Copies of this chain bind each other. A is one copy, B any other.
Amino acid sequence: MPKIYTQNVSGCMAEMIGDDGLTGDALESARAAAWDVWSAMRTDIAEDGFPAISIAQQSEDLAAVRDAAARLSTHCDTVAVLGVGGSSLGAEALCALALAPKVDVRFLNNPDPETVARYIASVDVSRAGLVMVSKSGGTAETLVLAMTLMPALTDSRAGDAVADYSVAIAEPGDSPLRRLAAQWDVPVIDHPVDIGGRYSALSAVGLLPAALAGLDIDAVRAGAAEALELNLAGETIEDVPAALGAAVSLALLQSQGARMSVLMPYADALAPFARWYRQLWAESVGKNGHGTTPIDALGSVDQHSQLQLYLDGPTDKMFTIVTQQLAGRGDRVPPDLAVLAGADYLAGQTTGDLLAAEQEATIESLCAHGRPVRRIDVARVDEAAIGALMAHFMLETVTAAFMMGVDPFDQPAVEDGKARTRKRLADASGAAVT
C-alpha cells in the first residue's frame, strides 16, 4: 500500500542545488539533535503525553460532534463559526475541502463592523446558526461577536430549541463564554484542556465545522493516525519525515541563514491549510528571539507574485512544495482552439495537466537557482490527506521547537497586547457605558 504522504528533502542538499544547500556535515548534527528530541517525544506519545496528536486514534469524543452537527445541519442553512486563531484556522483548512458543502459554514473571526454587516445581509437569519469557540472562554473577539449576534438570532428563532441552532466549545470551568451559554441555554462541548488552540484541529474545534460542511471526519482522523503511525514506525530518522523535516529546517537556518519557511501547496483547497500552518509554526517556535518566519504561498498563483523574489532575491528561505497527482484531471483544452491561438503546447491538455507541469517546473526552477526545496507528495487532497498533513506538521513543529529550546505550547508575548486592549476599553467605558 502506498504511504499516505511522502517527503523528499534531496532538493535541500548541496549535492543537488550547490552552495546554498546543506552539506552532509551540516545536516548530520541537526539530525542527531532531532533524533534525540524525537526519541523523547515518541515515548511521550506512547504514554499519551501529546493528546493533540493521539486524539487521532480515538473516536469516543465524536458522538457529541456528530450530534451537534446533525441538529445544526437540519435546522440551519448557514452556520457562522465565531472563533479566532486556533479556534478558526484548523476548521477553515478542513472546510475548504468541501466541494458542495452541506451547510454553508462561514468564519467570523474579526470584529470588523463591515464584515458583520455583510454577513447579516447575506443570510436568512431564521435559518442561521452559530458555533462559538474559545478555549479559555474569554477571547474578546469571540465574546463581542457572540453578544452582538446571538440576541438577533434568538429573536428570529422563537419556538426553536436553542440547541438546534447554536453550540459552544470551551474548556470546562467558569468563563465568560460558559456563562453566556448557560444564560442562553446553549449546549457546550468541552474543549480538551490538554490541547492548545493551535493544536486543536483534530478535536471538535476542527471537526464540528468540518462535519457541518459534510466532510468525512473519521477519514480526517484516520489520515492523521496513519501519518502518526508512519512516523512512530521509523527506526532511523530517514523514516521519520517529521523529525527529518525539523532537522533540515534547523540546519538550513543555522548553516545557510534560511530565516523563512515557505509552504506552497499546489491546490486551492490547501490555501487555508497553509494559513493554519502559519499560526502553528509562528506561535510555537517564535519566542525568546528564536524561530523562523512561516510564509504561506499558493501554486500556481504565487508563481506570478512571489516566485521572482524566491528565485532571484536573497537566499534566506527554505521552500516546501506540497504536490498532488493532477495529470489528466479537469477539463481538456480543445486541440483546434489551442492551435488556432498559437499555443500548441496546450493542445489537448487539461487544467490538471497544466497545474501538474507547473508544480514540477517550480521545484526544478528553485533547485536550478540553488534554493533549498523539499517536496511533500499526496495522491489527492482529501480528508485523509489533510489529516495526515496536519499530523506531520504538528509533529515537525513540536520537534523543531524543542530543538530550539523553546516551549511549543505557550504564547506568552501576546498577553501584552490583550492587556493593552482591555485597558484601553476599560478606560473608554467610563464614557461609553451609562
Question: Could you list which residues of chain A lie within 8 angstroms of chain B, going by C-beta atoms?
Answer: 84-86, 89, 99-100, 109-118, 121, 138-141, 143-145, 147-149, 151, 174-177, 179-180, 183, 197, 259-260, 267-269, 275, 278-279, 282-283, 285-291, 293, 295, 298-301, 303-317, 326, 329-335, 337-338, 340-355, 357-358, 360-362, 364-365, 368-369, 381, 411-414, 416-418, 420-422, 424-426, 428-429, 432-434
Chain B: CB-nearest residue to A329: B113
Docked-complex contact B312 and A147, CB < 8 angstroms: no
List 11 A-B residue pairs with CB atoms under 8 Å apart, sorted by A's residue number: A110-B299, A113-B326, A113-B350, A117-B330, A144-B349, A279-B305, A282-B306, A283-B305, A345-B426, A349-B429, A361-B417
**In the complex, what residues of B have CB within 8 A of residue A418's CB?**
361
Docked-complex contact A353 and B84, CB < 8 angstroms: no
User: Given A304-B84, A304-B414, A305-B283, are A267 and B114 also a contact pair (CB < 8 Å)?
Assistant: yes
- How far apart are the CA atoms of A268 and B62 in the complex, in Å? 33
A333 to chain B minimum Cβ distance, whole angstroms, is 5
Docked-complex contact A424 and B357, CB < 8 angstroms: yes
- How far apart are the CA atoms of A13 and B128 in the complex, in Å? 49
Docked-complex contact B308 and A351, CB < 8 angstroms: no
Chain B: CB-nearest residue to A348: B433
Query: What 3 A-B pairs are tightest by C-beta distance, nearest first?
Result: A286-B309, A85-B304, A113-B330
Docked-complex contact A99 and B85, CB < 8 angstroms: no
Docked-complex contact B300 and A287, CB < 8 angstroms: no
**In the complex, what residues of B have CB within 8 A of residue A314's CB?**
259, 289-291, 293
Copies of this chain in its oligomeric complex: 2
**In the complex, what residues of B have CB within 8 A of residue A283's CB?**
305-306, 308-309
**In the complex, what residues of B have CB within 8 A of residue A429's CB?**
344-345, 347-349
Docked-complex contact B347 and A304, CB < 8 angstroms: no
User: Given A279-B306, A420-B365, are A112 and B355 also a contact pair (CB < 8 Å)?
Assistant: yes
Q: Add 11 more A-B contacts to A111-B330, A347-B429 (CB < 8 A).
A: A84-B304, A85-B303, A109-B301, A114-B269, A116-B331, A282-B308, A286-B309, A293-B314, A308-B413, A335-B433, A361-B424
Docked-complex contact B278 and A306, CB < 8 angstroms: yes
Docked-complex contact B301 and A346, CB < 8 angstroms: no
Chain B: CB-nearest residue to A275: B305
- How far apart are the CA atoms of A313 and B332 in the complex, in Å? 47
Docked-complex contact B416 and A145, CB < 8 angstroms: no
**In the complex, what residues of B have CB within 8 A of residue A357's CB?**
421, 424-425, 428
Docked-complex contact A141 and B422, CB < 8 angstroms: no
Docked-complex contact B333 and A309, CB < 8 angstroms: no
**In the complex, what residues of B have CB within 8 A of residue A413's CB?**
307-308, 311-312, 369
- How far apart are the CA atoms of A139 and B301 in the complex, in Å? 12
- How far apart are the CA atoms of A303 and B139 in the complex, in Å? 12
**In the complex, what residues of B have CB within 8 A of residue A267's CB?**
112, 114
User: Given A113-B326, A303-B414, A343-B138, are A353 and B179 also a contact pair (CB < 8 Å)?
Assistant: no
Docked-complex contact B144 and A341, CB < 8 angstroms: no
